[in-house]
Structure 1
C-alpha cells in the first residue's frame, strides 16, 4: 500500500469513523461503510492524492451510504447503539451521554438525506455548495433538506437546543 495513503487514513480515521457512525447509527454498519469507502479511495489514490482526498472520500462515503440504504431499506431496519465513538476524555460524562443519546434518537427520526445534510453542514461544517457537491445534489436540495431536518429536530427533540447551548458554554 502507498505510504501517503496509509498516512492519510491514519490521520483521519477517528474523524471518518465518527462521520460514518453519525450517518449509519450503527457501529458495524459504520465500519463497513468506512472500509468500503477507503477501499474505493485506495483504487483511485494515485489520481486523487494530488487533488483533495478528503472531499473525494466524503463523496464516496455519502454516495455509498445512500446506495446501501436504497438496496437494503426494505430488508432491515437500523439498530441503535448505546455509545458514540469519541476521542479523548469528556468533561462531564453524564451530560455527554445524555446529549449523545438524545442526538442519536433525534437523528434516527430523520430521513437518510436529512441526516446526511445535517452531518455535512453541522458536524463537518461544510458550506451549502460543498455539501451539495458531496451529495451530488443541487444547493437548493441541501437548503430544503436542511430546513426540513432542523424543523423535524425541533419537533422531535426540543431539548437538544438547551443541551447544545450548555455544551457550548462548557467547551468555551
Structure 2
C-alpha cells in the first residue's frame, strides 16, 4: 500500500477524534481546524520515514498537542480582541449546560495544564503516556495536573467533582 493510501486511511479514521481533541485544547473550532491541519501535514511529511505503523493514534495526538502548545508559545503576546461577533461555542442542543460550563472553565486554564488535563482525563492516558505525548517528565505531568485541577476547582466551585467526572466520561 502506498503512503498516500495509508495516510488517507489514517486521516479518515482519526480526523474527527483529533479535531475534538484540538477543540478541547483551543476552545474554538477555527483554531482547532488550523491545529489539526498542521498536525496532519506534519504527520504526512514524517510518514514515509516512520519505521512502525503501530500507535498512530497516540503519535497523531502527540503532534496535535505539541502543535497547539507551539502555537500558544508563538502568539503568547496576542490578546483577545473585542468584536461584534459571538464567540465560537458548540451548538446549544448538543451539550448539556454543565458540560459547557466545564469547557469554558477549561478554556481559562493555561495551555500546558489544559493539554495535560485533556490527555489525562478526556483521553484517559496514564502519567507516563501523557509525559511522552507532551515531551516532558512525569513530575511535570503531575504538577500540571495538580495545578490545572486547582484552577478548574477555583473557577467552578464545589460542583467541580461531579461536573468534571461527567465531562471526562463523555456523558
Q: Same fold (TM over 0.5)?
A: yes
Counterpart for residue 162 of structure 2: 162
Counterpart for residue 13 of structure 1: 15
Q: CA deviation at 1:146?
A: 0.3
> Are the counterparts in 2 of residues 25 and 80 from structure 1 also a CA contact under 8 Å?
no
| Number of aligned residue pairs | 162
Q: Which of these residues, 40, 43, 57, is aligned with residue 42 of structure 2? A: 40
TM-score, with length taken from structure 2: 0.83
The reply to whether residue 122 of structure 1 matches residue 121 of structure 2 is yes
Paired residues for 1:46-65 under 5 Å: 46-48=48-50, 50-65=53-68
Counterpart for residue 102 of structure 1: 101
Distance 1:114 1:160, change over 3 A: same
Distance 1:168 1:110, change over 3 A: closer
Cα distance in 2 between the residues matched to 1:24 and 1:97: 20
Please give the secondary structure, in 2, of the residue aligned with 1:2.
helix
> Are the counterparts in 2 of residues 120 and 131 from structure 1 also a CA contact under 8 Å?
yes
> Are the counterparts in 2 of residues 63 and 135 from structure 1 also a CA contact under 8 Å?
yes
> Are the counterparts in 2 of residues 99 and 160 from structure 1 also a CA contact under 8 Å?
no
Identify unmatched segments of 5+ residues in structure 1.
Answer: 85-92
Identify unmatched segments of 5+ residues in structure 2.
Answer: none
Cα distance in 1 between the residues matched to 2:167 and 2:154: 20
